[in-house]
Amino acid sequence: MEMRTNMLLRGTEKTLSLESALAQRRAINVANDTSDIFAKNIATVSEEQLRAIHSIDGPSGLFRLFELAKTNGSGDFRHFFRLIAEDIDPGQHAAREILLQFLVAVSDMASQPQELRYDNARLPQGEDLDRFNSNVLYPSLSEIFYHPGCNPGYLVYGLGGPKILISHPYRGINGQIYNLYANSVDVVTSLTMRGYKGRFLFLDYLPGLNNEKDGVKAWVLLFSMMAAHSDVVFFIKEYDGGFSESQKMEITFAPDRVQKKIIEIPHSELVWAKKPEIGTVDFYFTGKPDSSKEAFEALEAEHATPLIGLYSRPGFPRNTLLRVDESGSFSSYPLDFPIYGVTQ
């Protein structure tokens, strides 16, 4: 599936050459010191895998892999790298080639990638979104959002390709813990098997963002800001099923300017969404003497609060698209500017 990407979100990507990546990997192997978490993580990646990642996702993909290794513990790194390793596994490519040959034999359409068709007409934004700065785009913030691995309040899978925000059902949620790791990996597996390739962002269940900002739940505004800085938003639902209450809010706060797609998945693949979460919490840890529920939720929301404030800050014009580069310089474009210019 080919997906168009937002040209205004492209910035200067940070890169890592294959030669540098291989040199660092060999130095780690020679030193045989895995006390450093980065060295321990990269030691589990073979030179063949580094070459494959470079071939598929380029120097920027290698850079993101090394950032994933630096900023995530060994358990988290294994969780996110497992899907990367499966994607570049020669056996997987051989199996896909056999499947492609079969599809080509039965359908001319299968002989080349198909551009994705979107469902924006079925997923219109609500009027309340006009009160927020969804028209102000920061390419550097978009890259920060899509940093691979475990981030404060959300997860990102993948090293390259379109930036895809996932809206998934929070069925069964009645407490404060949601097993996002297990649930999200199932969704990513279902999506990749259907031919979707990119970086997948999953927002966690955040009780610390249940407060309201300008009459809207803070977590909804965080989702909305992430949507504005994504290439596409996938809304996951069952065949013949409806959207959850949280998804209905997400739909109304996903800008019409952004590509939106409904992905229907069989019930058997969404069993995880029917299960209740692990349980409720009776102990909170903040790393400080005050480990109350209130202090924990304040800590949980700390990373998002400045972003939500920026999203609702008055003074930005709403009748134009504004792009803000890393130096703080503004560029303006008409609201109907063709931001999706090429496919990826």
| pLDDT above 60: residue 157 | yes
- Of 64, 74, 72, 76, the closest CA to residue 15 belongs to 64
- pLDDT band of 343, cuts 50, 70, 90: very low
Identify which of 4-13, 24-33, 140-149 has the greatest average pLDDT.
Answer: 140-149
- pLDDT band of 114, cuts 50, 70, 90: confident
59 vs 57: CA distance, rounded Å: 7
| pLDDT above 80: residue 228 | yes
> In whole numbers, what is the pLDDT of the chain averaged over residues?
84
| pLDDT above 60: residue 110 | no
What pLDDT was estimated at residue 286? Answer: 38
Cβ atoms of 273 and 183 closer than 8 Å: yes
Quick one: what percent of the chain has pLDDT higher than 70?
80
| pLDDT above 50: residue 121 | yes
- pLDDT band of 291, cuts 50, 70, 90: low
Output the six-digit token pair for 134: 């969804």
| pLDDT above 90: residue 160 | yes
| pLDDT above 50: residue 80 | yes
Q: What average pLDDT score do residues 205-229 get?
A: 90
Q: What average pLDDT score do residues 111-115 get?
A: 69
Cβ atoms of 34 and 40 closer than 8 Å: yes
Task: Supply φ then ψ for residue 117, to 5 degrees.
Answer: -100, 140
- For 265, other C-beta atoms within 10 Å of its C-beta total 18
- For 287, other C-beta atoms within 10 Å of its C-beta total 6
What pLDDT was estimated at residue 153? Answer: 82
Q: What average pLDDT score do residues 225-245 get?
A: 90
Who contacts 44 (Cβ-Cβ below 8 Å, separation ≥6)?
77, 78, 81
Q: State how far the alpha carbon of 324 is from the alpha carbons of 141, 151, 210, in Å.
A: 10, 23, 29
Dihedral of CA 10/141/223/206: which sign?
A: positive
| pLDDT above 60: residue 287 | no
| List of E strands, 46-179 | 136-137, 149-151, 154-157, 163-167
- pLDDT band of 172, cuts 50, 70, 90: very low
What pLDDT was estimated at residue 277? Answer: 45
Output the six-digit token pair for 273: 């969404």
What pLDDT was estimated at residue 70? Answer: 94
Q: What average pLDDT score do residues 150-170 get?
A: 90
What pLDDT was estimated at residue 177? Answer: 46
Q: State how far the alpha carbon of 61 is from the alpha carbons of 64, 161, 195, in Å.
A: 5, 9, 19
What pLDDT was estimated at residue 282? Answer: 47
What pLDDT was estimated at residue 209? Answer: 84
- pLDDT band of 299, cuts 50, 70, 90: low
Who contacts 62 (Cβ-Cβ below 8 Å, separation ≥6)?
15, 16, 17, 18, 21, 50, 53, 54
What pLDDT was estimated at residue 99? Answer: 57
- Of 117, 115, 133, 123, the closest CA to residue 256 belongs to 123
Of 234 and 115, the one with more pLDDT: 234
What pLDDT was estimated at residue 173? Answer: 44
Instruction: List, edge to edge, every strand of the sheet that includes 199-203.
Output: 149-151, 154-157, 199-203, 163-167, 232-238, 259-265
What pLDDT was estimated at residue 49? Answer: 96
What pLDDT was estimated at residue 178? Answer: 52
Cβ atoms of 128 and 253 closer than 8 Å: yes
SS3 content of the chain, % helix, strand, coil (to 5): 45, 15, 40
| pLDDT above 70: residue 300 | no
Element (H, E) at 295: helix 293-301
What pLDDT was estimated at residue 87? Answer: 84
Output the six-digit token pair for 252: 């109304």
214 vs 195: CA distance, rounded Å: 39
| pLDDT above 60: residue 155 | yes
Helix (H, G, I), strand (E, B) or coil at 201: strand
Span 51-78, pLDDT tens digits = 999 999 999 999 999 999 999 888 899 9
What pLDDT was estimated at residue 244? Answer: 85
318 vs 295: CA distance, rounded Å: 36
Cβ atoms of 64 and 148 closer than 8 Å: yes
58 vs 62: CA distance, rounded Å: 7
| pLDDT above 70: residue 170 | no
